[in-house]
Homo-oligomer: A and B are copies of this chain.
Amino acid sequence: MTNNNSIRPINKAMNLEDIAAKAGVSRSTVSRVINNEPYVSAKTRTKVEAVIEEEGFSPNPAARTLVTQRTKAIGIVIPHILNAISSDDAYFSTLLRGITEVTTQRDHATLLWLEQTGDDEERFRRRILQNRMMDGLIVASAATNDPLFAHLIEAGTHFVTVERPTQFREHTNYVTIDNVTAAQTAVEHLIKHGRHRIATITGNLNISDGEDRLTGYRNALESAGIPYDTNLVIPAQFNRHNGYQGMKELLNFKFDAIFAANDAIALGVMQAARELGLRIPDDFALVGFDDMNIATQLNPPLTTIHQPVLEKGAHAANLLIDLIEGKVKTPQAILLPTELIIRESCGVKSKETG
């Protein structure tokens, strides 16, 4: 409104110039102090810092971004909202916590991009790709063939996934767990304890987590010389409803155990079993995946694979910011450990180890 430097409108934030005037130096010097640059005398620095402190000044991020081309913000992208944030599940909020822990610590803001139910994919992608408020992206629960990846790579945008990539592997940084081995461990545990007709209700097979857990299941059967029976493999998605439906489909066949691709699915199985008057683990054993907090609380407590979701988020954020800051060049693949947690749903006393 006014061009008069001496009178600042009320409520108008201060700027470098104002601070400089108050400190009796030039704008450039204030900038140097703020950015911790050398070549400022101790005395000047102290004076300027005092004024900054006194005024509670902080530099305008938009102006800064305009010249530095950096926003000091990252984005979290969740394309498949219905799967990822099935509200049964603490996976998502735990991941967020892990991520923000690091972004906060490393002085970055965090933008959240959830694909909405009515959204078409193309618009969602454009919204993210065109938004230039972020220096990089963490992509969670995307389909392995999601076109987003091609666009990100083409645009040269830094990104990290929390699933194993199946395409563009040489361009993709990721942090995940060894889903194949973990699932295999779970199923082998069932086999070791006398279950031989083991069914599985899978997660989304277009997400590597789902795909890999099915592979682990197959591997376990194969190692034990148990034939792979497609009747016992119910393709589904990572949510409770699918577990519930899957259980009902399985009724047509004989089985003595179910490996659920995650705990939400296991929850659905338990609900169906209960309605059908089937008892776990007496009528069939059940093993889940994720170790959500609720697992101890179920009846019976759920045997499951524990995975370090918080750490996954934290590692992803660190990796992304390292990438942005140029501290990491070659594509990184970080694998986090998992653990089989034996409770009661698998029919083995939790005292005796696997």
Contacts and interface: CB of A to CB of B under 8 A. Distances in A.
Contacts of A294: 88, 267, 294
A336 interface: no
Contacts of A11: 156
A194 B133 CA distance: 59
A85 B111 contact: no
Interface in A49-93: 56, 58, 60-63, 65-66, 71, 73, 76, 81, 85, 87-90, 92-93
Contacts of A170: none
A133 B61 contact: yes
A217 to B, nearest CB: 24
A62 B292 contact: no
A100 interface: yes
A13 interface: yes
Given A87-B293, A119-B104, A114 B133 contact: no
A167 to B, nearest CB: 22
Contact of A65 (B62, B117, B298): B62
Contact of A60 (B66, B112, B297): B66
Contact of A109 (B62, B131, B293): B131
A153 to B, nearest CB: 13
Nearest to A86: B293
A248 interface: no
Contacts of A66: 60, 62-63, 66
A104 B120 CA distance: 12
Contacts of A130: 56, 58
Contact of A112 (B56, B58, B111, B156): B111
B132 A62 contact: yes
A270 interface: yes
A114 B96 contact: yes
B297 A271 contact: yes
A93 B85 contact: yes
Contacts of A65: 62
A271 B65 CA distance: 51
Given A96-B112, A294-B267, A62 B71 contact: yes
28 contacts: A13-B132, A56-B130, A58-B132, A61-B131, A61-B132, A61-B133, A62-B63, A62-B71, A62-B132, A73-B133, A85-B96, A85-B97, A87-B292, A90-B93, A93-B93, A100-B112, A100-B116, A101-B116, A101-B117, A109-B133, A110-B113, A111-B111, A111-B112, A240-B297, A270-B297, A271-B296, A298-B299, A299-B299
Given A61-B132, A104-B127, 20 more contacts: A56-B130, A60-B66, A61-B131, A62-B62, A62-B63, A63-B66, A66-B66, A73-B133, A81-B97, A85-B96, A85-B97, A87-B93, A87-B292, A87-B293, A88-B90, A88-B293, A90-B90, A90-B93, A97-B114, A270-B297
